[in-house]
Chains A and B, each alone.
Chain A
Amino acid sequence: MRSLIRRRRPDPAQDPAPSRVAYRLTRLWLSPFIRRLVTIVIPAALVLGGLTAYATQPQQIETMTRWSEEIRASVEARPEFQIRQMAVTGASPVLADAIRDRVGLDFPVSWFQIDPAVLHKQVAALDAVAQVKVSVELGGALRISVTEREPAVIWRRSFGLEMLDATGHRIGFIDHRDGRSDLPLVTGEGANAAIPEALALIAAADPIGLRLRALTRRGERRWDMVLDRGQVLQLPEKAPVRALERTLALQAAMDLLDRDVAVVDMRNPGRLTVRMGGDAVEYLRLTRSFGQGLVRQ
């Protein structure tokens, strides 16, 4: 029977053939480049772009920052990461106090807030510290092992007294010498630059050690050795120890230093010069006059 429903045109679903546009679109869709573009590149770009646009709003940035800070603080505050005490080893009580002052940590402190490198720098900046080892242990202790500098000489300057170690590095200021009267005294500008030489001279001057008062740096280039009675041994710039030994040999042979000699000038090693004291000059002149019969009695 003929269909009673009037149809304007035949049902397009009966034709299985794709239209030219549909065919071309299918082919376009099947080409790998377009397919990858549509399925991967464009969605990824959209998602990334959307996320970026959302995340770059100031409000979101603030929220995110606060959130991350809260997380960070909560982790830092955990007892596993707390450091409760600091142990300073190898330092005298005075130095240990100085180190504690310098580090200035308010315990308990979080493990994350301690930078061992910074601590190391801070402690090493102290004059009295030769070497330092900082170790932060997760158990809750901060360990600072210190090697102190050994004082070797006292350097008198115009404004005070300094203790120096064997290399010339300053250890600290002292108020008066009485505390460390065992240490030799050096004076003069630039003395700290030649402390090893000074120590060698002091060691070599052992035979007259009781008479030694100080070493004075002259013009930042050579040493004068000052003995009691105001005697001065002027030492050369080069090989001062040999010059000193020669003087000591003269002392041993001729008791040079026991005589009334004001200055022994060894600056020119080839020519030893002696400046006599005033009494000795008078006595010499008198003796010579006697010899010439010039003295009236």
Chain B
Amino acid sequence: MMELFETQRAMRQMRKAAMQRGVVAILDIGTYKATCFVLRFDGAEVTPTEGVGSMAGQAQFRVIGAATTRARGMRHGEIEAMQEAERAVRTVVQAAQKMARIRVDHAIVCFSGANPRSYGLTGEIDVAGQEVNEGDVAAVLSSCDTPDIGAHRTVLHAQPVNFALDYRSGLSDPRGQTGNTLTTDLHMLAVDRAVVQNILHCIKRCDLELAGLASSAYVSGISALVEDEQKIGSACIDLGAGTTGVSIFLRSHMIYADTVRAGGAHVTQDISQGLGIPLDLAERIKTLHGGLTATGRDDRDMIPLTGETGDWEHDRREISRSDLIGIMRPRMEEILEDVRDRLDVAGFEQLPSQKVVLTGGGSQIPGLAALATRILGQQVRLGRPMRVQGVPQAAAGPAFSAAVGLSLFAAHPQDECWDFDLATHSYPSRSLRRAVRWFRENW
């Protein structure tokens, strides 16, 4: 399991270096837009309140630069044309740097594609009635049996979400407690290796060092869900342009993440194809007039479809808003049905609470909450990202929940498997202790 994490460990080192520099760039490379925040870490290290201690270090931060631009060369949250994606990243990084008036060398990146798949792993060791220490935690994490994730896949997140000591489960931090058997549940998120390598390459071509990678489904959950929702169990649906991220949180940990490879861009595409208008115009009327619930007034609400093809009749068409809703609604229904399927697969019904939070740019379609209530259950709300110091008003909407969540993630990273010292050298001392105990009991 260890060799899997070498890249991640290198990124942790980079993150440490970035913390020392005090400035780090947050890059959310989405299908429709790329966002960059420049964070300045200026507080002392914050002591964690719960959970297995902070291995990666935590700090307070302030957003001193923010920029967003239209992403290019991206499809389904994956890089499709490297040159174009690189240009988008360069544009957005340069603009954010200009606003921050400082140069950034380290970037923490999130992306939404690459077919993330969740694995639940369990590990168990015998601690023989001793106090559990850090080495035991590392040992139990390394004792998890790695599933066969495939040769072309790589691990993006591997977070211990639960510890159990004998019959007591739900421990967030087993250290210092006494028991016989230490069990852990590990949530592992695997993604396509090629996509990650593309992103690594793209960041490298922009002269930046990658200081961390995250799944956007996970980080938008961090920012859009309030603390109680993260604790008692809830799902965050990040309606992006190319993908729709699904992440389920329980007891402040992500326990499941997945993406539906469809999103707002597909709605735009449907409008464009259905009405025979360019994509730009389709995007425009979707944003200005779009909706999901038709009322009687919508039949009289006419939307001009201006065009510049030269065909007078074609350029002067009009449709009613209910026509537009008739195009958008089936696609949104389809996406939400897919999300429902993913939630069902994950066993979302078994959670103590079935709160669903919709966020992302797509969640701004009027009437989405009503539609989602019919498909995803009664407890649906629209989520906006948490307020972060220094974020401009323009970047405070739900479309930026992944970027804001990534900022929070950069400042307070969840402990991952690779933060623990998984080395096997903790074993000899344990066996020695066992031998000593055996002697004491038998002689």
Contact = CB atoms under 8 A, between A and B. Distances in A.
Interface of A: 1, 15-18, 20, 22-24, 26-27, 30-32
Most buried by B among A16, A20, A22, A32: A16
A16 B97 contact: no
A24 B207 contact: yes
Contacts of B69: 16
Contacts of A17: 87-88, 90-91
Nearest to B83: A17
Given A1-B308, A27-B207, A30-B102, 5 more contacts: A15-B87, A16-B69, A24-B207, A26-B94, A26-B98
Contact of B90 (A1, A18, A30): A18
A18 B97 contact: no
A27 to B, nearest CB: 5
B103 interface: yes
Contacts of B16: none
Given A27-B97, A27-B207, A30-B97, A18 B91 contact: yes
Contacts of A27: 94, 97, 103, 207
Nearest to B88: A17
Contacts of B98: 26, 30
Nearest to A19: B90
A26 B94 CA distance: 7
B4 interface: no
Contact of B310 (A1, A23, A26): A1
Nearest to A26: B94
A16 B88 CA distance: 9
Most buried by B among A1, A18, A23: A23
A22 B207 CA distance: 13
Interface string B57-100: 00000000000010000000000000000011011011001100
Given A1-B310, A24-B207, A27-B207, A18 B94 contact: yes
B423 interface: no
A179 to B, nearest CB: 95
B73 to A, nearest CB: 11
17 contacts: A1-B308, A15-B87, A17-B87, A17-B90, A22-B94, A23-B94, A23-B206, A26-B94, A26-B97, A26-B98, A27-B103, A30-B97, A30-B101, A30-B102, A31-B103, A32-B102, A32-B103
Contacts of A1: 308, 310
A20 B204 CA distance: 12
Contacts of B101: 30
Most buried by B among A15, A26, A27, A31: A27
Contacts of B207: 23-24, 27
A31 B102 CA distance: 7
Nearest to B308: A1
Nearest to A28: B103
B33 to A, nearest CB: 13
Nearest to B69: A16
Contacts of A20: 90
Contacts of A30: 97-98, 101-103
Contacts of A32: 102-103
A1 B93 CA distance: 37
Contacts of B88: 17
B89 to A, nearest CB: 9
Contacts of B87: 15, 17
A147 B94 CA distance: 86
Nearest to A33: B103
Contacts of A22: 94
Most buried by B among A20, A22, A24: A20
